[in-house]
Amino acid sequence: MGYTEEELAKDLENSEYKFGFTTNIESDRAPNGINEDIIRFISAKKEEPEWLLEYRLNAYKAWRQMTEPEWAHIHYEKPQFEDICYYAAPKQTKKYESWDDVDPEMKETMKKLGISMEEQKRLTGTAVDFVMDSVSVATSFKAKLKELGIIFCSFSEAVQEHPELVKKYMGSVVPSKDNFYAALNSAVFTDGSFCYIPKGVRCPMELSTYFRINEGGTGQFERTLVVADEGSYVSYLEGCTAPMRDENQLHAAVVELIALDNAEIKYSTVQNWYPGDKNGKGGVYNFVTKRGICEKNAKISWTQVETGSAVTWKYPSCILKGDNSVGEFYSVAVTNNFQQADTGTKMIHLGKNTKSTIISKGISAGQSHNSYRGLVQIHANADNARNFSQCDSLLMTDRSGAHTFPYIECKNNSAKIEHEATTSKIGEDQIFYCLQRGISEEKAISLIVNGYCKEVLNQLPMEFAVEAQKLLEISLENSVG
Amino acid sequence: MEAVANSKVSAFVENWSLPAGNETLRAEALQALKGMDFPTTRVEDWKYTRITRITNKTFHQSAMTLDVKPYIIPNLEAHVLVFVNGYFQKNLSTILEGDVITIADVNDLDNSYYTNVLEDVDENVFSLMNKAFATAGVYLTIPKNQKAAYPIHLLHVSTGERTVANVRHFIQAETGSKAEVFATFHSEGANDALVNVVFEGHIQENAKLTINKLQSEEQSTFHIANEIFVQDPSSNFEINTITIGGLLVRNGLNILVEGENCYTELNGVYLGKGKQLLDNHTFVDHLFGNCTSSETYKGVMDDQSIGVFNGKVVVRQDAQKIQAYQSNGNVLLSEQATVNSKPELEIYADDVRCSHGSTTGQLDEQAVFYLRARGLSEKKAKELLVSAFIGEVLEKVDNATYRAYVDELFWQKFGWQF
């Protein structure tokens, strides 16, 4: 923390341009469709070792046998897997000729979010030079991290530089045959992030600022692997509050977290992908598999603020394998217009004295549907396991839906599990109270919603929490029914 | 029988004969069964209930008789209708004189009553098998603006080796009527007996119906129940389900609230021992506004027993001002007991107050200590706490005579006093 936008801008000014990123790779594009040749092509392009190609092919074979799951409480047009281009080398993100061409609505949104002018330009892809520059900022961070022995790089780089770590941990939490979309990802993933924190090291900064710069041109099939070695700590931030216009309709990422003995990983996500227009046309499908495993005394904490995507379908999970390990899940999911979300978590208690906390806040506006689906599973050996779940839903209009599907499975008699859920709307008395004190209705709602989400927003790193708060406000604009 | 050829279901019902009456309806059910298979644990509704213990056996219909005196509720002045292995026993039944209600055999009716009330409900393999092979059942009518003078006791006993009982009841509570029904299920010397019951009801405007269901079969009996009740505006419906017997019990309770200002109450207690699997599935569908539903289910699982609770409350669009409350509490007494709880809410209207809660745990050690410090043995202390735990639900049973009977039963079976 302690790294502000101003400092970032200053760093950018001072730093020099180190890596050329101008090679013309425009033509690197695989034909649409998926087959073994395409996978070999991707693997070859990325100069991957034999074992990784093998891994991809095995996943592909398994995927072929699988059928798309249909149990979720969402309705969408199924992706046409043969129409997707599985490999397109990153293009330069020049979308607008000048700042003036940028959609004024988007500018307004970013202004409200309090994003600096420079970053606004970068996010809209106006100032191409800026993107190039950011590479060097990234490197300055990298030097700092390197001193501590922290590895933080793109997934393909990790495959080249640290194959032993990748080979050891990749697929250890989310096996390649885990589910339909994880298998697809395992077969065709193009890039992602890799992070390794050595024994006893406390990562000195939120791995967020860096990531925001690194974000440009994320692929459709990302893969993130975070390994926290014994006694280490890392706070990892994914995503961005700024609206991301994205042409890729299907996003099927895989995130794996490994917290070894006494380690702690805090993983925060802010997701604001394109939710489709007011009539529910278009928008991103966010089908992500996120899972972490905790060894002895380890802790994994997931925090998510989900406001974007037409369809969100994800369950960041914790496998509490080691004794005394802790899993946490804090989530705010906002859906508006025709958005749909089926999200929640899975807490698998295997070790003794394991603890988990689930706080989920759903807000449905417009004609959207928001479901919480969570599993708490206590295995026979998980003595004294403890779980607390709270799932609240707020309905903003009479055309929206809020649903709760908790699964509670207990096989140990010393475990204690509590689950509670409520569904309601904002009280008229609450709004009246605010109006009476001169607070406009729109402001009053944002005030109440922020209070309602406070427990979750408090878990976010500070600067992000401020942005996330504003994001909620924007997402719910004109949504009062 | 060739209608359902080549499937597990057809093999299952192969040696059952179609009872007389309702031919069209039975044919329809057989047609619907065609190509259907038994649900596996991959089917969401049967996720926690493996029924292979039932489906890998075959059962046969068998009309038998036995002494039902031990199963009569003492001191309860009621119409008693006795069914042994799914066959009505006229000689053993008592119908008191001077009551307003009419009692008819379901098989004597034409099929008209099925269509208008129950067309929305998804039938499953067991309800369809029941439709095709129902051997007996009552069609009970409580006339308009009348109160049934006596409660109606539907007494079911299973006996014999591998017997099946397909019973089907229908209760028509006409506008402004009131009645109390007891449905008890027992078994005597039954070995691998199957009880497949369908219980339907229509509670019309301003009517009030209370059902007390008791399952106290031996641990060698399988019990599958499909219960569907439809509520008209301003009606009041209450059902209390007490499950203490049966090796595998599945209670599928569906309540469709099709009118405003209704009150619905569902309470349940399930106590598992040995290798019992007790599954309570409830579904409350609020289609209209201004209704209240309240649901309390409590389970105590001992030995290697498995308890399942899956409660679902749906509030449809425009069904505003609904208050729905759902609570499920479980206590695990042994290390090998399991509980799977899945309380669900599906809400499509915004001006509602819905909540659910689910807890699973063991008895409070401090409370046990407190009682032991006062001279109770550990066993006694635990018994006292368990009875207090489920006592909360038993309190909701209004009928004192029935309550006394249930208490006595608990005393005999578990040594618990309330």
DSSP assignment of B232-251: -TT-EEEEEEEE---SEEEE
- The span from the CA of A90 to the CA of A28, in Å, is 9
pLDDT tens readout for residues B22-75:
788 888 889 888 888 899 988 888 999 999 999 999 999 999 889 999 999 999
Interface check A393 vs B, CB under 8 A: yes
pLDDT of residue B221 exceeding 60, the answer is: yes
In the A/B pair of chains, how many CB contacts fall below 8 A?
119
Task: Please name which of A171, A183, A177 lies closest in space to residue A287, comparing C-alpha atoms.
Answer: A183
From B210, B227, B258, the end of a domain falls on B258
Contact between residue A68 and residue A78 where contact means Cβ atoms under 8 Å apart? yes
E strand spans, A118-232: 151-154, 191-197, 222-228
Residue B112: CB atoms within 10 A of its CB come to: 7
CB contact under 8 Å between A418 and B357, yes or no, is yes
Cross-chain Cβ contact A415/B320 below 8 Å: no
Q: A426: number of CA atoms within 13 Å, CB side?
A: 26
Q: What sign does the dihedral A225-A231-A232-A238 (CA atoms) show?
A: positive
Confirm or reject contact between A424 and chain B (CB < 8 A): yes
For A403, which of B332, B347, B360 is closest by C-beta distance?
B347
- Chain A environment of B348 (Cβ under 8 Å): 400-401
Task: Using CA coordinates, name the residue in chain B closest to A72.
Answer: B44
Distance, CA of A257 to CA of A300 (rounded, Å): 8
Q: Is there a domain that residue B274 lies in?
A: no
Contact between B339 and A402 using a beta-carbon 8 Å cutoff = no
Mark which of B258, B287, B317 sits at the end of a domain. B258
Report the distance separating Cα A109 and Cα A307, nearest Å.
14
Q: How far is B331 from chain A (nearest CA, A)?
A: 8
Residue of chain B minimizing CA distance to A371: B346
SS3 B156: strand
> A281 CB contacts (<8 Å, ≥6 apart)?
none
For residue A85, the 8-state DSSP code is: -
| Contact (CB<8Å) A407/B342 | yes
Closest CA–CA distance from residue B90 to any residue of chain A (Å): 45
C-alpha neighbours within 13 Å on the C-beta side of residue A405? 18
Residue B304 CA to residue B301 CA, distance in Å, equals 8
User: Does residue B48 belong to any structural domain of this protein?
Assistant: yes
Range of the domain at B244: 2-258
Same-domain check for residues B229 and B371: no
Is B316 contained in some domain?
no
Q: Is residue B332 in some structural domain?
A: no
Q: A164 — contact with chain B (CB < 8 Å)?
A: no
Burial tier of A307 (Cβ tally within 10 Å: 0-12, 13-18, 19+) = buried
Residue numbers of B between 331 and 360 with CB closer than 8 Å to A: 332-360
**Given CB atoms, is B319 within the 8 Å cutoff of chain A?**
no
pLDDT at position B206 over 90: yes
Helices (H), B74-141: 112-118, 125-133
| Pairwise CB contact (< 8 Å): A398 & B360 | no
- 3-state secondary structure at position A358: strand
Answer yes or no: is B294 within a domain: no
Whether B124 is covered by a domain: the verdict is: yes
Distance between CA atoms of residues B394 and B410, nearest Å: 11
Q: Which residues of A touch B349 (CB under 8 A)?
A: 395, 398
Nearest by Cα to A317 from A334, A331, A307 = A331
Interchain proximity B346–A398, CB inside 8 Å: no
CB neighbour list of residue B70: distance below 8 Å, 6 or more residues apart: none
Please name which of A455, A428, A159, A179 lies closest in space to residue A305, comparing C-alpha atoms: A455
Task: Look at phi and psi of residue A344 and say left if phi exceeds 0, alpha if psi is from -120 to 50, else beta.
Answer: left
Report phi then psi at B366, rounded to 5.
-65, -40
Q: Which residue of A has its CA nearest to B358?
A: A419
Q: Is B97 exposed, middle or buried (0-12, 13-18, 19+ CB in 10 A)?
A: exposed
CB atoms within 10 A of CB A368: 27
Please give, rounded to a whole number of angstroms, the shortest distance from the CA of B245 to a CA of chain A. 21
Are A312 and A340 in contact by the 8 Å Cβ rule? The answer is yes
Give the Cβ contact number of residue A1 at 10 Å: 12
Please tell me which of the candidates A73, A404, A414 has its beta carbon nearest to residue B362.
A414
Q: Tell me, yes or no, if A381 comes closer than 8 A to chain B by beta carbon.
A: no
Give the helix/strand (H/E) hosting A395.
strand A386-395
B293 touches chain A (CB under 8 A): no
CB contact under 8 A, B339 and A410: yes
Q: How far apart are CA B73 and CA A431, in angstroms?
A: 56
Q: Is residue B335 part of a domain?
A: no
Q: Is B187 on the interface with A (CB under 8 A)?
A: no
Chain B residue with the nearest C-alpha to that of A405? B344
Provide, as residue numbers in chain B, all residues whose Cβ is less than 8 Å from the Cβ of A410.
330, 332, 338-341, 360
Residues of chain A with C-beta less than 8 angstroms from the C-beta of B317: 398-399
Cβ-nearest to B341 among A402, A408, A422: A408
Q: Do A419 and B353 touch (CB under 8 A)?
A: no
Q: How far apart are CA A337 and CA A467, in angstroms?
A: 22
ipTM of model: 0.84
Within 10 angstroms of residue B382's Cβ, the number of other Cβ atoms is 19
Q: Domain for residue B85, yes or no? A: yes
Q: Is the CA virtual torsion A466, A468, A474, A476 positive or negative?
A: negative
Q: How many beta carbons lie within 10 A of that of residue A438, not counting itself?
A: 7
Distance from CA of B215 to the nearest CA of A (A): 24
In angstroms, the Cα distances linking B45 to A72, A454, B65, B281 are 14, 35, 36, 8
Q: Please give the backbone phi and psi of residue B41, each rounded to the nearest 5 degrees, phi first.
A: -70, -5
Which residues partner with B292 through β-bridges?
B263, B323
Q: Does A421 touch chain B (CB under 8 A)?
A: yes
* Cross-chain residue pair A403–B357, CB shorter than 8 Å: no
Question: Which residues on A lie below 8 Å from B321 (Cβ)?
Answer: none
Region for residue A288 given its phi and psi (left: phi exceeds 0; alpha: psi -120 to 50; beta: otherwise): beta
Helix (H, G, I), strand (E, B) or coil at B13: helix
Domain boundary among B203, B230, B258: B258
* pLDDT tens for the 481 residues of chain A, in order: 445 555 544 553 443 333 323 333 333 667 778 888 888 888 888 888 999 999 999 999 999 999 988 888 888 888 888 877 777 655 444 445 566 666 666 666 666 666 665 555 555 544 333 333 344 445 566 777 888 999 888 888 889 999 999 999 999 999 999 999 999 999 988 888 889 999 999 988 777 644 443 343 445 788 899 999 999 999 988 876 555 555 567 888 899 999 999 999 999 988 887 787 777 777 888 899 999 999 999 999 999 998 888 899 999 999 999 999 999 999 999 998 889 999 999 999 999 999 999 999 999 988 999 999 999 999 999 999 999 999 999 998 888 899 999 999 999 999 999 999 998 888 888 889 999 999 988 888 888 888 899 889 888 887 678 778 888 887 777 665 4
Please tell me the total count of domains within chain B. 2
DSSP string, A224-258: EEEEE-TT-EEEEEEE-SS-B--S--EE--EEEEE
For residues B6 and B12, give the distance between their C-alpha atoms in angstroms, rounded to a whole number. Answer: 11
Residues 53-72 of A with CB under 8 A from B: 71
pLDDT at B114: 56
Distances, alpha carbon A473 to alpha carbons A401, B103, B122, B193, in Å: 20, 62, 42, 61
Closest CB to A413 among B48, B320, B362: B362
Residue B189: count other Cβ atoms within 10 Å of its Cβ. Answer: 12
Interchain CB contact of A255 with B (< 8 Å) = no
